[in-house]
Amino acid sequence: MSRAPLFSRFEFMIAWRYLWAKRSEGGVSVMTLISLTGVALAVAALVIVLAVRSGFRTEFVDTILGSNAHVTVFKHSLNIETERYDYKIKNYDELTANILAVPGVVQAAPLIRGQVMANVGEQNHGVLVFGISLENLKNIPRVVKAEGSIGDIENFSKGVAIGAGVARALRVTVGDRIKLISPNGVKTAFGTSPRVKSFSITYIFTAGHFNIDETRLYLPFRDAQSFFNREGFADQIEIFVNTPENISLMEADLLAAGGEGAVLETWRDYAGGFLRALAIEDNVMLIIMIVLILLSTMNIVSGLIMLVKNKGRDIGVLRTIGFNEGTVLRVFFLCGAGIGLLGTVLGVLIGILFVLNIDAIFSLVNYLSGGDVWDPSIRGIYHLPSELRLIDVAKAIGISLSLSFIITIFPARRAARMDPVEALRNE
């Protein structure tokens, strides 16, 4: 003996007729359209928010990991004569070789680092100088494979490489000369004389992160040693690894390779606060979007309550000819679930189309608003990123369908428990 299906064909047929019946027939097709539109827009908003959230985090992490060391090694030792800690790394070649031997390390480079004033004519701009060799500079992804660049990185040994923001601030281009001024210069009987030296600009890059492009200047390692009076020393060793997300698993090996007095600073130490803020913002936005979908599904409830009220006579007739409570409940559940399902599908399609064309849409909005919608000095990156991931789309579908199905049960149960005698008597 075959078992009857849970939802039969005539139940779908009745639910369909109820949803799209004309107002003269006691239907609520206008309310159906309102509910459908509300769910679709709410789901589309959730898909867009999740895509932008994923894209923003991916872009931010990529610019950080592509422009900065994943791990930086410092060393300190006590100077007996001055009774102060000395942070200069003397055996930087040997230390670099030891670190490169650690499994998972793909690059290790000695570095000179300092802050100076850059000057061209009447233009002044503070910059962060990184003294590095050409070979190691070419291994920094966001510099050698920049979003935009001018000049040839192979000529780096003949001058300096600067960020596009620095070039804009100083109004210079490749071939111009830039003057670096450091207050920590030569000590004389009359005080400390500023150290000043001029360099030619050989390469201008756009790393994709506002703060990096606005402050970064790369100087050949030997020139940096001479300029900052670091002959025979390095300030730090910067390290790139193959799995920066799992950097905590390598810290013990890196400390051992660094030897006594070694101190590590990972990319999570200087970017972790921003990432935690992003995670908190993500959770808050997700809650807001869930509430928005919940409010949209409330239109389904109000529509079903109106439908049950208008179809009281029909319910009485159906119960009289032998329909049980379960059948009536399924009919009205299908009405609400159908709106939720169709609204979810439309919302996902709208959201995906929006995300795929987000650059064009954002450019239009930015143009209409006068170009003040996105400030890279605040956001850090130059455009609104988006990353459409299957898990995010599935999450939006699951949230919408779950809320739509659950909230539909209550008016459907009210219809199922309606007394057929009372329903026909009131008609």
Q: Distance between CA 331 and CA 239 in Å, rounded?
A: 64
Q: Distance between CA 165 and CA 215 in Å, rounded?
A: 7
Question: What is the domain partition of the chain in residue ranges?
Answer: 9-62+274-426, 77-260
Task: Kindly tell me the sign of the dihedral angle through the C-alpha atoms of 275, 281, 287, 288.
Answer: negative
Amino acid at the residue 167 = A
Q: Which residue has the higher pLDDT, 419 or 398?
A: 398
Torsion of Cα atoms, 62 then 68 then 69 then 71, to 10°: -80
pTM of the shown model:
0.73
**Is residue 151 scored above 80 in pLDDT?**
yes
User: pLDDT for 75-105, tens place per residue?
Assistant: 876 666 666 666 788 888 889 999 999 999 9
Task: Please report the DSSP string for 5-41 in residue order.
Answer: PSS-HHHHHHHHHHHT--GGGT--HHHHHHHHHHHHH
Beta strands in 89-165 (DSSP E): 105-120, 123-132, 148-151, 160-163
Q: Which residue has the higher pLDDT, 143 or 32?
A: 143
pLDDT band of 319, cuts 50, 70, 90: low
Residues with Cβ within 8 Å of 187's Cβ and at least 6 positions away in sequence, in order, are 193
User: pLDDT for 373-389, tens place per residue?
Assistant: 666 655 566 667 788 88
**Is residue 50 scored above 50 in pLDDT?**
yes
pLDDT band of 6, cuts 50, 70, 90: low
> Which burial class, exposed, middle or buried, applies to 234 when counting CB atoms under 10 A from its CB (0-12, 13-18, 19+)?
buried
Q: How many CB atoms lie within 10 A of CB 363?
A: 14
